[in-house]
A and B are shown apart, each in its own frame.
Chain A
Amino acid sequence: MVSKKAKIKLYALSTCSHCMRTKRFFKEHGIEPEIIDVDLLTGAERERIMNEVRKFNPECSFPTICIDDDVIVGFNEEKLRTALGIR
């Protein structure tokens, strides 16, 4: 089980349905990750964030979810539950 202080970062696209499902999952469980909608970024800021995404997920696909040291790619409820210790 991750602690309440787990660092959770969600790299998403504002238009992506799998990303929306992921956002909804967090909301339903009262978890507030840091959400970055990459499609809404431009220029150097987007480049900086994409460098981060690439480091965690070389495929650079969305959503990419970092929960402490765990990286989950795509909306996978089972993996999210395991990583977050939610039954």
Chain B
Amino acid sequence: MTPDKLYDILSIYASSQGIRLNKDKPFVMDILQGLLTNEARYGYRSCPCRLAWAVKEKDSDIVCPCVYRDPDIKEFGSCFCGLYVSADWNEEKIAHRQVPERRPKEKRMM
């Protein structure tokens, strides 16, 4: 899998979910490269913006798309990483702000 191929697949997937990939393509490509790096490291596409446990069961909530994506998009228009966003976010109808970490502390690698 290459970042370009993944971009094409996830663009279609995002639209099918009623959301979008961030319109900032270079930024998205960095995230996709991070996802593929984590897949090569751990065997699954762990969120590139979070420190993984490297144990699938413990990282299951942060395998992309993470379980926090939808509530984050609902509240902020963007997921924690900024990969998935709402159409309104892409069209700048809602403010772009930093998305706080929603993952419970007890689940994090700290």
Residues of chain A having any CB pair with chain B under 8 Å: 13-21, 38-39, 50, 54, 59-62, 74-76
Q: What 1/0 flags go to B36-52 for Cβ under 8 Å of A?
A: 01100000000011111
28 chain-A/chain-B pairs, Cβ below 8 angstroms: A13-B34, A13-B48, A13-B49, A14-B34, A14-B37, A15-B38, A15-B48, A16-B48, A16-B81, A17-B27, A17-B34, A17-B48, A17-B49, A18-B49, A20-B30, A21-B27, A38-B51, A39-B51, A39-B52, A50-B110, A54-B110, A59-B105, A60-B51, A60-B109, A61-B50, A62-B50, A62-B51, A76-B98
Sort chain B's interface into a size bin. Answer: 20 to 34
How many residue pairs between the two chains, A and B, have CB atoms under 8 Å in the bound complex?
Answer: 53
